[in-house]
Amino acid sequence: MKILAQFMGVFNLDKCLGCNACTVACKNLWTNRDGTEYMYWNNVETRPGPGYPLEWEDQEKYRGGWILTRDGKLKLAIGGRIARLLELFHNPYLPTIDDYFEPFTFTYDNLISATQSDKQPVAEPISLVSGKKMEIRLGPNWNDDLAGGSEAILKDPNIKKLENKIKTDFENAFMMYLPRICNHCLNPACVAACPAGAMYKREEDGIVLNDQNKCRGWRFCVAACPYKKVYYNWVTGKAEKCILCYPRLETGQIPACFHECVGRIRYLGVVLYDADRVEWAASARDPKEIIDRHLEIIQNPFDENVIKNAKENGITDDFIEAAQRTPVYKMIKVWKIALPLHPEFRTLPMIWYIPPLSPLVENIRVKSDEEFFPIVDHMRIPIEYLANMFTAGDTEKIKEALKKLIGLRIYMRQKRLGKKIDERVIKETSLTEEDLEEMYKVLAIARLEDRFVIPTAHKEKALSIFEETLAPEYIQGNRGLEHTSRRDLRLRRK
């Protein structure tokens, strides 16, 4: 057993407004440079719909993530080293610019500098790639708020399996929002696919990063990521991705997209996991078992043996304390109301989602609160659709999560109205009254410090890195440079 720490997030889809405040915050902070015009490290997709890039969930098309061989071993879906070498100059599994959108601007200057004419001057769209005039066929958030329109709904890979069950007429349309960032997976395919070793996972907190100095722009990381959250900068020739705002995290600040969330749907904290069993968790024969194995390797932060092992592996007391205080652990493992996005990709993502409740398909008269549980199957968002996204098709896990969310509403309603709490609510949800009270505080009225439990980085760890890479005599003669970057120290040494 090797206990390590990992930052983990939970998004409550029942509260997402689709306002894209998170997208704007990330875009303004990280992707406002040349070559990043089409990059959205954080984006909010309207579902059902094709997503961004188009149909990214279709792994028959993109071959992302891992597959299981006949002998039970994990293998990259894009193939081994030889297969990747043969595809070095033509990778058929990469998204094209048309799958994202060709970034564009408008000839705004024409509105001012146009010569006098009988016709109204127009700002025409021009490509930011070629600089030529273009016709806009796709753009950021192109399918926003279409509510399952017939054109968008059939491009959703999760819908293709359910075409006979889902109607696209207006009265039966449904819609939900899906905010996405890099999942900073425990078993990241992007890291395994990088031949240059540029993509790596930080051991101290689990954040997946790309070393720009090592990156050679081969883009195998883009192809291997099943969530398509690695992008290629055509100006620098390097791959870029979400870094979970680690410069902010290291000083105890909240990542930009988490901080700017208007609906307060986001939670971030530290969990402890057994690194020695990651491969075992991702290698389940039945994809529906992956979630259970994933939960099994996430350890109880109050267990004395876990704490002892974590300290032996360099996990500091404040990280352990953060793991004990964060509500993320309870949401995924105690209450079991959060689920991973496409566990069948076998990357063990560390951004989990609370599935959304939805209105009923038809008007069903409910005589009492006790009848709310059977009508989970009659909700407008089909259980099978949510299962295809979050549980590899296991509808029971979706039903259990939705029952607990409904049970919480029934419990709080009865309590506020001064009614006796119906024991059926406790029995059906498998939760105690204490659990329901705490769930209400976490999901409804949690403060900023309750939703985000972030330990800061340690300066002594940074100094140890300097001491390992620089001569001892240089360190002794240059104390007081703690805030100097590693690159600057090398330059000073030269």
Locate the domains of the chain by residue range: 263-451, 466-493
3-state secondary structure of 449: helix
Nearest to 77 by CA among 203, 225, 217: 225
Please state, in angstroms and as integers, the Cα–Cα distance from residue 319 to each residue in 333, 424, 436, following that order.
19, 38, 27
Is the domain spanning 263-451 CATH 1.20.1440.230? The answer is no
Q: How many CB atoms lie within 10 A of CB 427?
A: 10
**In DSSP terms, which residues pair with 274 in a beta bridge?**
3
Parallel, antiparallel or unpaired: strands 351-354 and 339-340: antiparallel
For residue 325, what pLDDT is reported?
A: 95
Distance CA 338, CA 271 (A): 14
For residue 459, what pLDDT is reported?
A: 61
For residue 493, what pLDDT is reported?
A: 39
For residue 143, what pLDDT is reported?
A: 81
Distance CA 330, CA 335 (A): 6
Please state, in angstroms and as integers, the Cα–Cα distance from residue 205 to each residue in 263, 454, 488, following that order.
26, 11, 25
Let me know the angle formed at the C-alpha of 149 by 146 and 151, rounded to the nearest 5 degrees.
115
Kindly compute the dihedral angle of the four CA atoms of residues 281, 286, 291, 292, in this order, to the nearest 10 degrees: -80
Nearest to 285 by CA among 72, 118, 478, 460: 72
For residue 473, what pLDDT is reported?
A: 44
For residue 348, what pLDDT is reported?
A: 97
For residue 469, what pLDDT is reported?
A: 45
pTM for the model: 0.89
For residue 134, what pLDDT is reported?
A: 93
Answer for the pair 227, 77: CB distance below 8 angstroms, yes or no. no
Kindly compute the dihedral angle of the four CA atoms of residues 471, 472, 476, 482, in this order, to the nearest 10 degrees: 70
For residue 482, what pLDDT is reported?
A: 39
Distance CA 292, CA 343 (A): 10
Distance CA 214, CA 216 (A): 6
Taking only the tens of pLDDT, the chain with its 494 residues reads 999 999 999 999 999 999 999 999 999 999 999 999 999 999 999 988 899 999 999 999 999 999 999 998 999 999 888 877 777 778 889 999 999 999 999 999 988 888 888 888 999 999 998 899 999 988 888 888 875 556 677 778 887 767 555 655 555 677 899 999 999 999 999 999 999 999 999 999 999 999 999 999 999 999 999 999 999 999 999 999 999 999 999 999 999 999 999 999 999 999 999 999 999 999 999 999 999 999 999 999 999 999 999 999 999 999 999 999 999 999 999 999 999 999 999 999 999 999 999 876 555 455 554 455 666 777 888 899 999 999 999 999 999 999 999 999 989 999 999 988 888 888 888 899 999 999 999 999 999 999 999 998 766 665 554 445 444 444 444 444 334 343 343 333 33
